[in-house]
Structure 1
Amino acid sequence: MAVRSPVALPVVLPGATEPRLGVEAELRRRGWETAEAPAAADLLVVCGSPSPEEDRRLDTLLRTMSRPAARVDVTRPADAARALDEGFAVLRAGAASRSASPEGHENAVGGEHEAHPGKGSASAGPGHGPHHEHEEPGHPGHDETGGHGHSGHEGHTMSTVAGLPMADRAADRDGLSLDRLNLPLGPVLPDWPAGLILRCALQGDIVQEVRVDRLPGPPDGTSFWNEPWSRAARGEPVERGVAARRRCAAHLDSLGRLLSLAGRSDTAGRLRRLRDDVLAGAPSGHCGEPLRALTERVERSRTLRWGLAGLGRLPAERARRRGVTGPALEADGDAHDRLLSWSREARRAVRDLDDRRPLPTGRLIGPRGTVGGTVPPSQALLDVLPELLTGTELGCARLVVASLDPDLDEPVAVPATEDAHA
C-alpha cells in the first residue's frame, strides 16, 4: 500500500531545465506527490547528468530515504515516463521482498543500492555494491538539505557532536553574544534554483550572513530560458512569437515556484500546466483567457500581498546600481511587486505567441534581463541576494530567493573560497 502512489523527490542539476519540465509534467499527469525532504520520499528522481562526485553524493542522499527506495536519472524530457515506470517497478519489487523476507529490510530489493537501476538516458547508474565508499548522513561532508557540512566553517573551529555541527558564539546586531549556527540551504530543495547553495549564518531564526555558492554548471553555460535571445544575439533569425512563448513560460515557471512556497500549490499547479501548454505550442487563443483569469486572481489576493509585502525590498535605483535588469528592476519593490511584474509580463507575452515577425536585434531583454551583454542577468540577481537576505527570518529567505529566481544555467560565477565545493 505504501508504494501504490510513490512520493518523488526531484533533484535538479544545473543545465537540466528541460528534463525537469518533463518530470514535473509526468508527475502531475500521474498524480504522484512530491516530497519536501528526503525522509518523506521513496523515489529519488535526478534531472540531469551528474558528475562522479555528484553521483556519490546522490547515493548518500538515497541512503537517508526510508526503504524501499529507488533512484532514477532523467536526461531528456521524453524519458521521464519510462524512468518513473522503472522506479515504480523497483519500489513494488522492494515492497514485496520486504514483506516476504524474514530478515526484514536489509535483504529487500531497494535496501542498499539495489534500488538504483541500470543507468541510461532515463535511469540511474549501475548498482553500487557494498564496496562503494560510504559517507553516512550527518557526516561533516553532508547535510540534510543537500548542502555540505563544511559550509560556514570559519577557520574550521565549529565543534561537532555525532558529526552534526553545533552552534558557536558571535555578537549579534545589538552587541550581545548569542549562538550562531551555520546552515546551508540547497542545492536539494523543492522550488529552488538548480545548483544554488546559500551558506547562511543564523542567530535564532535570523539570517546574519549569507554567502552564495553553487554546483558546477554546464560547460557551455547554455540557459534554456534565454535560448531565443542568445540565438538572436548570434545573428540567427528568431520569430517574435518564439521569444514570447519562452518568456511567458519562464514567468509562469517562476510564478509557480513562488506561489508553491507561499502555500498556493493549487494555483501553482494550474500555472505550470499553462506553462507546459505554452511550451508545447498551444495558440494564443487557447492560453490567453485561462492565464488572464489565474493571474488576475493572484494579483487580487490579499493574503499573498500580506505574506510577501516587505520581503526582499529592492528599489529600482538600488537595483540599477547593482546591475539588475528585467522584471526585478521594473518591479521597483519587494517580493510581491516582483510577483506582480511576472504576472503582467506573462499576460503581455501570451498575446504575441503567434507573431511570425522577426525579433528585433537591438537590446535583447530575456525573462531575467538583458541577454548578450558582458554580465548575465542572473549574475546581478545572485550578487544582490546576500544583502536582501541578511536580517530576514529564515522562513522568509526561500520566498525572497523565489521572488528573484536566478537562473544558474547562465554563465554566472560566485566568489571562490577554500570550502566552496560541490
Structure 2
Amino acid sequence: MSRPSVLAVTLPGATALRLELEAEVRRRGWPLASVPAAADLLVVCGFPPPQDAQWLDAVERSMPQPAVRIGVVRSGQVTPGLTSGREELIARALTPRPAVAPGSRTDAGAETPRNGHSPTAHHDTPTSGTFDDRDSRSHSHHGTHQHHGDQAPRPVDEDHGPHRPADRAAPADRPRHQGRGGAMEHRGHDMHAMAEVAGLPMAERGDDRDELRLDQLHVPFGPALADWPTGLVLRLTLQGDVVQGAEVDHLSVPSGGPMPFWAEPWLRAARGEQVTRGSAARRRCAAHLDSAGRLLAVVGWDDAAARCRRLRDGLLTGAPGEATREALHRTVRRVGRSRSLRWSLAGLGPLPSDRAQAAGVTGPALAADGDAYDRLLTWLTEIGRAQEELDDTRPLAPDDLTGPRGRLDGSRPPSQALLDVLPDLLTGAEFACARIILASLDPDVEELSPAFVSGAAHV
C-alpha cells in the first residue's frame, strides 16, 4: 500500500483535474491501473450527476478489497486527496474485516447472494469500466468475457516503437497490459438484444459479411477505461472478430461549466479576452501531445506515451520555450521515424479528405487525408509548427478560431463531426483495431456542452 495503484475516472468538464492527477501520480511514482481489478484507489475527477452514481458504484465494487474511492472536484484537491486515500487504504488493510453472513449487505453496499458468491468475486469481477445505462442488471449479474479476437498491445522496440504481429487480431499473453491497446475486455451486455441462461448473456444470430449465420454480441465500452476519450460510450455489435455496427453515446456534459479545456484559448479570444499567441500555441501542442500519448499507449509504446505526457505537462505549466522546443523536436522525430509504428497503424480507419469534408470534419482529421498513421503524423506536424510560437506575446486574433480539433465557429463542434464519422470507420474493422481507430480521432466530449453547441456559430 506504499504505492497504491490508481484508477482515474474523468467526467466531462474535468480535463484540467485529470491532467493535475496524472502529473501528481507520476511525481509520486505510483502506478496507474488500466482496469478496476488491478486498482487500489479509485479517483473520480469531476462532480458526478445522480445518473452516474450506479455505474461508478459498479466500478468501485469491481476493485479488490481493501479499496478506496475519492473524488476531486476542483484544483488543489488532488494532492491531499491522494494522501488521504493512501492513509485510508493502509487503515483498511490493517483492520480485520468482519465475517459477512449470507444474504446480508457487504460494506460496498452490495447484497451477497445466499449461495455465498458475491457479484464482485472471481468470475463475476469485471475487468473494464464499461456499462450499459439501459439495463442496470449488467453491473451485478454479468460475468467477465474476453473476446477471442482480442489482441494485447504490441511489444516495444526502444529504437523503433511497437511491433505488430502478423495477425492484428491474434491474442498475445501480456497480462500487465490487460484492458489496454487492442485488448478491449468487456462486460455488461445489452439485455434488450440478448436472452439470459442461468443469469449469463447469450448471443443472438445474424448474417455476417460472408452470408453466414454467426453469433452477434452487443457490447458497451467506456467510459471508465484507461486511455479512453473522456465520457465516451461505444456500443458495438460484434460478430466473430469483426465490428458489424457501432453506436456512439456519451455521459452528460454539464451546462454552465468551464469552457472545453483544449479549445479554451480560442473561445476566450473570440469573446474579447486578451489571449497571447504563445498560450494558444502551448495549448495546441499540449492537446496534440495528449492525443498522441493516448494513441501510443493504446498500441503499447508506453515509453513514448510517457514522454508525450511529460512534455504536455511542461507546456501547460509554463516550461521555458527554448528547452521545451528541443525536447519536442527529439520526441516528434523519434515517433515520426518509427517504421514499426507506421506498420502498426497503416490502413486503419481510412478517412479521405473528400469524405471528411462532406461529413463536416475539420482540423487535423481533414488535413490528414488518410488513415490512423496519417492522423498521428498530422498531430506531429502541427506540434512542430506551434512550437515556434511558444513564447509569442502578441495577442491572438479574435477571428482565429481553429482549435486543436478543428474550426470552432461552425454550425456544430468539431468533435461532433468526429463522432459522426466514427461508426462508419469502425464498421468492418477487426475488433482488435477498434481502439486504435478511436484513439487516432480522439474526439473531445467536452466540446458537446450545451453552451458551446448553441453558441458555436457565434463565438
1:17 Cα deviation (Å)?
0.1
Are the equivalent residues in 2 in contact too, given 1:208–1:391 (CA < 8 A)?
yes
Q: Which residue of 2 aligns with 1:418?
A: none
What's the C-alpha RMSD, in Å, of the aligned pairs?
Answer: 2.5
| Separation in structure 1 between the aligned mates of residue 430 and residue 361 of structure 2, nearest angstrom | 24
Are the equivalent residues in 1 in contact too, given 2:237–2:243 (CA < 8 A)?
yes
Secondary structure at 2:249's aligned position in 1?
strand
Q: Which residue of 1 aligns with 2:306?
A: 269
Q: Which residue of 2 aligns with 1:311?
A: 348
Q: Which residue of 1 aligns with 2:231?
A: 195
Secondary structure at 2:95's aligned position in 1?
helix
| One of 72, 75, 79 as aligned partner of 1:74 | 72
| Paired AA for residue 60 in structure 1 | A
Secondary structure at 1:217's aligned position in 2?
coil
Pairing 1:282–2:309 present: no
Are the equivalent residues in 2 in contact too, given 1:61–1:137 (CA < 8 A)?
no
1:242 Cα deviation (Å)?
1.3
| One of 269, 277, 302 as aligned partner of 2:339 | 302
Deviations 1:25-70 (A, max 9, x none): 0111111111121111111111111112312321221111101100
1:129 Cα deviation (Å)?
9.8
| Paired AA for residue 320 in structure 1 | Q
Q: Which residue of 2 aligns with 1:146?
A: 130
Are the equivalent residues in 1 in contact too, given 2:255–2:449 (CA < 8 A)?
no
Classify 1:57/1:153 alpha carbon distance in 2 versus 1 (closer, same or farther; 3 Å): closer
Q: Which residue of 1 aligns with 2:146?
A: none
Q: Which residue of 2 aligns with 1:417?
A: none
Secondary structure at 1:410's aligned position in 2?
helix
1:165 Cα deviation (Å)?
2.4
| Separation in structure 2 between the aligned mates of residue 69 and residue 405 of structure 1, nearest angstrom | 31
Query: What's the % identity of the aligned pairs?
Result: 54
| Separation in structure 2 between the aligned mates of residue 325 and residue 112 of structure 1, nearest angstrom | 49
Q: Which residue of 2 aligns with 1:119?
A: none
Are the equivalent residues in 2 in contact too, given 1:14–1:217 (CA < 8 A)?
yes
| One of 367, 372, 380 as aligned partner of 1:335 | 372
| One of 6, 10, 13 as aligned partner of 1:12 | 10
Q: Which residue of 2 aligns with 1:125?
A: none
| Paired AA for residue 55 in structure 1 | A
| Paired AA for residue 4 in structure 2 | P
| Separation in structure 2 between the aligned mates of residue 144 and residue 350 of structure 1, nearest angstrom | 37
Are the equivalent residues in 2 in contact too, given 1:13–1:48 (CA < 8 A)?
yes
Q: Which residue of 2 aligns with 1:394?
A: 431
Q: Which residue of 2 aligns with 1:232?
A: 269
| Separation in structure 2 between the aligned mates of residue 262 and residue 105 of structure 1, nearest angstrom | 43
Q: Which residue of 1 aligns with 2:163?
A: none
Q: TM-score, normalised by structure 1?
A: 0.86
Identify the range of structure 1 (231-240 vs 4-13) with the bigger mean alpha-carbon deviation. 231-240
| Separation in structure 2 between the aligned mates of residue 361 and residue 153 of structure 1, nearest angstrom | 47
1:184 Cα deviation (Å)?
0.7
| Paired AA for residue 213 in structure 2 | S
Q: 1:53-72 maps to which residues of 2 (within 5 A)?
A: 53-72=51-70
| Paired AA for residue 188 in structure 1 | A
1:202 Cα deviation (Å)?
0.2
Deviations 1:217-248 (A, max 9, x none): 12136300001111122232321111111111
Pairing 1:370–2:407 present: yes
1:155 Cα deviation (Å)?
9.2
Pairing 1:33–2:31 present: yes
1:5 Cα deviation (Å)?
1.6
Q: Which residue of 2 aligns with 1:121?
A: none
| Paired AA for residue 245 in structure 2 | E
Classify 1:163/1:295 alpha carbon distance in 2 versus 1 (closer, same or farther; 3 Å): farther
Structure 2 spans left out of the alignment, 5+ residues:
112-117, 136-187, 451-459
| Paired AA for residue 215 in structure 1 | L
| One of 291, 312, 328 as aligned partner of 2:328 | 291
| Separation in structure 1 between the aligned mates of residue 404 and residue 22 of structure 2, nearest angstrom | 21
1:263 Cα deviation (Å)?
0.8
1:346 Cα deviation (Å)?
1.1
Q: TM-score, normalised by structure 2?
A: 0.79
| One of 441, 447, 452 as aligned partner of 1:404 | 441
1:136 Cα deviation (Å)?
5.0
Classify 1:144/1:305 alpha carbon distance in 2 versus 1 (closer, same or farther; 3 Å): closer
Deviations 1:323-346 (A, max 9, x none): 110011111111111111111111
| Separation in structure 2 between the aligned mates of residue 183 and residue 278 of structure 1, nearest angstrom | 38
1:112 Cα deviation (Å)?
2.4
1:173 Cα deviation (Å)?
1.2
Are the equivalent residues in 2 in contact too, given 1:146–1:185 (CA < 8 A)?
yes
| Separation in structure 2 between the aligned mates of residue 396 and residue 91 of structure 1, nearest angstrom | 37
| One of 211, 219, 224 as aligned partner of 1:183 | 219
Q: Which residue of 2 aligns with 1:95?
A: 93
Are the equivalent residues in 1 in contact too, given 2:36–2:62 (CA < 8 A)?
yes
Deviations 1:150-206 (A, max 9, x none): 489889241123544221101111221100001111111111111100100000121
Pairing 1:218–2:254 present: yes
Are the equivalent residues in 2 in contact too, given 1:19–1:48 (CA < 8 A)?
yes
| Paired AA for residue 257 in structure 1 | R
Q: Which residue of 1 aligns with 2:107?
A: 112
